[in-house]
Structure 1
Amino acid sequence: MTITADKATKGRDLRLDLFRGLANWAIFLDHIPNNAVAWLTTRNYGFSDAADIFVFISGYTAAFVYSRRMARQGVLAGAALLLRRVWQLYVAHILLFVFYAVAIGFIAQRGHSHLLDEFNVKWLIEQPVATLTQGLALKFKPLNLDVLPLYIVLMAGFPPLLAVMMRHPDSALAASAGVYLASRWFGLNLPAWPSGEWYFNPFAWQFLFTIGAWVAMGGGERVKSLVMSKLMVSISLIYLIFAMVVTLAVRFASTWMLPSGLVDLFDPNDKTNLAPYRVLHLLALMIVLVRIVPEDWDVLRSDALRPLIVCGQRSLEVFCVGIFLSFVGHFILEMYSNALIAQIAVSVIGISVMTAVAFYRTWSRALDAPAPAGKASAGNRATQGGIG
C-alpha cells in the first residue's frame, strides 16, 4: 500500500477497506469474552491485534485524504476539514457512550447488577453528573469504549503534523518517534477518571498512526524495493512465526515451546504503551499481506469480499454498531447459553448486522449523490467514511 497524492487519481486501494473491514469484525469478536469464534482473529497468533491494524490504516487514510485537501485548498482549509471530522467522531462517541450506558443500566436494573461493575458504568449510578462530565471530556470510558477517544485525540493533533509531513515527511516521522520514546521512558499518558490512565496511551499510539501517514505520503514508495525484497519478506515471515509461537505459549501457559525467560519478555503484552515488538509485528504483517495480496487482485472486486470491503468503507458506523453488539452478545452468552453453537450464532448474527448496516449506509448515502458526477463524489466520501 504505497499510495501517494499523485497516485490518488488511479483509484482506491481496496486492500485498505479489506483490512479495515477485517479489523472491524475482529474487534467485535474479541470484545465478546469466552467466544470460541474469536480464535480466528490475529490477537491469538501474534503480538499486535485488530486495534493496531485500525490505527495504522487510519493514519494512512487520514494522510491520503487530507493531504490532497491541504494541497488543493490550503493548510488552513485542510485543518478545518480535519477538525470537522474530529467533531463527527466525537459526536459518534458520545452517542455510543449514551446508548451503551443506558443499555447496560437497563439490564442491570432487571437483576443483573454485576454488569455495572463489569462494564465500568457503576459511576453513572453513584455520581451521574461527575461521570457524564468526565465522559464528555473523554476521561471516563466504559469497558471497550477506548478506541474512539484515542482516534479523536490523534486526529485532533494531526493537522500540524500533516502540514509538516507534506514538506518534510521523514522529519515528521522522526519527531513522532521521539514522542513515542519519551512516552515510554518518562511514562507519559493522559489521566482517566475516576483513577488511572488511558488504556490506549495516545503519546505512544500516535507513532503507529504517524507511520501509516508516512507510508501514504510517499515513504512507502521510497522504501518499497527494500521492504518488498525476498530478504525482508523472509525476515517478516520468520518474525511472524516467532510471534505466533510466543503468543500461543502464553495463551496455553506452555513452557516446553520456548524458554520461560524468553516468554516473560512478551508477557504481559504491553498494549497500553504500544511495545516496540507490537509495532514490528504490525509492520511485518503488513509487508507479508501486501506481498501476497496485490493491489490489482481481481478477487478484491468479487462478491465474496464485498461485505468486508463495504464494512471497511463504512467503518465508523460499523465500529459503533459492533461495540454495542459485543455487549449484547456478551449478555446473551452469559445469561442464557455459552454453548459453542450459541457462540457461533451470536458471532454470525452480529457480523451480519454490522454488514447490513454498512450496506444500508452505502445505499443511503448514494441517494444523496447527483448523477453522473455523484459516483465520483460518493467514491471520495467513501474514502472519508471510515473511522480513518
Structure 2
Amino acid sequence: MRDPNAIDFWRGLALVTIFINHIPGNTFERYTYSQYGISDAAELFVFLAGWSIGIATHGKDGTPEPALTSVLRLLSRTVEVYRAQITTMALALAMIAGTALALDNPLILEWHNAGGFFADPIQTMVGFVLLTHQLGFFNILPLYVVLIGVAPAFVLLARRSRALALALSMAVYGASLVFEWNLPAWPGEGDWFFNPLCWQLLLVLGIVMQGWHREHAWLRLWTARLVPLGVVIVAAGIVLSVWEIRPDPLLVPDPRLLFTFDKTYLSPARLVHFVGVLLAFQAVYRLVAPRIGPVARYLAGLGRNSLAVFSIGSLLSLGAQFVRFQTGGGVFVDCVVVGSGLIALGVTAWFVEWRSRRPRPSSSASR
C-alpha cells in the first residue's frame, strides 16, 4: 500500500463529489465544487487517470518500462474496468427491478434509461455488453474502458514525441467538435453521454503533462507562476455558475460546440476552466494535508482503490435515490444516506486493501 499522495487525494475527492452529485437534489449537492464552476469532478477523474498512466508506465528513476509491458498493463486494466462495468450494470438493473417489485411501481423500471432493457432485453443486453446502451449515472466507466483501451497507442507515441501525441489528440478533439462526431448508442437513438473522441484529450493531456512535469524544471516553475491566472479563471467560473450565465446554443455561431458549455463534447470553456482549477489548486495538497490528516488519509485511501470505490459508490447512490424517492428526502434523510454512503466507501477501500495484504494459502496447505 502506497503512502498518501496528491494524486490519490484529489482522485478520492473526485470520487466523493461524484457520489454526492449522483444523488440529485440532496442537501449536500449544493456544496460540491461542480456547483461553482464550468467543469466538475469528471474532468479531474479522467485527467488524473492519464497522469497515473504516465507514472505507472515508467520506473522509479523515470525510465520507460518495456513497450510490451506497458501495453499488457493497460490492456489488463481495460479488461478489469470492463468487468467492473458489466457487473455494476447487472447489479443496478437488479436494484431497479427489485425496487419496482417492492414498491409495486412499474414506473421505476424506466429510471435512468433502464426501460429499454425490460422492454427489449435481447437487443439491450447486447448493447450493454457492447457498451452502446448505458444507464444514466453509470456512463463514466464505458468512457474509461475506451480511453484506457486506446491509451497504449498514445503512451508509445508519446515516448517518441509528446508534442506529436498531444497534437494528434487535439486534432481528433477539434474535428469532433467541428463535425459533432460521437459514438452511437444502440439499441435506440442518440450518442454516448461522454464522447470518448473528445474526452481522450484530457487523458492524453495527463500522460503528456506528467512526463514534461517530471523532466522539465522550467515547466514546474511556470506552473507555479501561473497560480494567479488559475485563480482568475476559477473566480470567473464561480461567477458564471452562481449567476447561471450560459451561452444559448441556438444563438452562438457555428461550429456551436466551440462556444457552449457542453459536457458531452468537453467544450473548450470546460477545458479552460479545468486547466484553471489545476493551476489554482496545484499546491493545496501540500498545505492542507498535514492539517487534515485523517481526512487526507481517507480520501487518499479512496483514490488508491478508485475502481472498486467508484463501482460501489454508483450502486450506493442509486440506492440513495430510491430512499429519497420513497421518503421524500429532507435534511435528515440526506445526512443518513450520504453519511452512511461515505462510510461505506471508506470500508470498501479498506476491504480491497485488506484482501491484497491477506496471505494466500500455500499450495501444500490447499492440498
User: Which TM-score applies when normalising by structure 2?
Assistant: 0.89
Give the corresponding residue for 2:278.
286
Query: 1:20–1:54: 8 Å Cα contact kept in structure 2?
Result: yes
Query: Structure 1 147/292 Cα, relative in aligned 2: closer, same or farther at 3 Å?
Result: same
Query: 2:49–2:203: 8 Å Cα contact kept in structure 1?
Result: yes
Question: What is the deviation of 1:245?
Answer: 0.9
The aligned runs of 1:145-184 (5 Å cut-off) are 145-184=138-177
Alpha-carbon displacement from aligned partner over 1:170-213 (angstroms, at most 9, x marks no partner): 11111111111011011111001211000000000000111111
Give the corresponding residue for 1:380.
none
Give the corresponding residue for 2:182.
189
Question: What is the deviation of 1:261?
Answer: 8.0
- The answer to whether the aligner puts 1:305 opposite 2:292 as a matched pair is no
Tell me the secondary structure at the aligned position of residue 160 of structure 2. coil
- The answer to whether the aligner puts 1:45 opposite 2:36 as a matched pair is yes
Query: Structure 1 319/233 Cα, relative in aligned 2: closer, same or farther at 3 Å?
Result: same
Question: What is the deviation of 1:30?
Answer: 0.3
Give the corresponding residue for 1:228.
224
The aligned runs of 1:193-342 (5 Å cut-off) are 193=186, 194-219=188-213, 222=216, 223-229=219-225, 232-250=226-244, 269-294=261-286, 298-299=290-291, 302-342=293-333
Question: What is the deviation of 1:337?
Answer: 3.3
Gapped runs of 5+ residues in structure 1? 1-10, 251-257, 371-388
Query: Structure 1 237/296 Cα, relative in aligned 2: closer, same or farther at 3 Å?
Result: closer
CA distance in 1 between counterparts of 2:204 and 2:287 reads: 22
Structure 2 residue corresponding to 1:115, chosen from 98, 108, 113:
108
Query: Structure 1 225/12 Cα, relative in aligned 2: closer, same or farther at 3 Å?
Result: farther
User: What is the RMSD of the two structures over their aligned residues, measured on CA atoms?
Assistant: 2.5
CA distance in 2 between counterparts of 1:186 and 1:311 reads: 38
User: Identity of paired residues, percent?
Assistant: 27
CA distance in 2 between counterparts of 1:12 and 1:166 reads: 28
Gapped runs of 5+ residues in structure 2? 253-257, 362-367
Query: Structure 1 296/248 Cα, relative in aligned 2: closer, same or farther at 3 Å?
Result: closer
CA distance in 2 between counterparts of 1:117 and 1:171 reads: 45
User: Which TM-score applies when normalising by structure 1?
Assistant: 0.84
Alpha-carbon displacement from aligned partner over 1:294-334 (angstroms, at most 9, x marks no partner): 3895447x333211110110110000000001111011011
Question: What is the deviation of 1:368?
Answer: 4.0
Give the number of aligned pairs.
349
Tell me the secondary structure at the aligned position of residue 23 of structure 2. coil
The aligned runs of 1:49-128 (5 Å cut-off) are 49-68=40-59, 74-110=66-102, 111-128=104-121
Tell me the secondary structure at the aligned position of residue 271 of structure 1. coil
Alpha-carbon displacement from aligned partner over 1:104-135 (angstroms, at most 9, x marks no partner): 01111332222222221111211111111110
Query: Structure 1 260/306 Cα, relative in aligned 2: closer, same or farther at 3 Å?
Result: closer
Letter of the 2:42 counterpart:
A
CA distance in 1 between counterparts of 2:246 and 2:79 reads: 49
Query: Structure 1 202/260 Cα, relative in aligned 2: closer, same or farther at 3 Å?
Result: closer
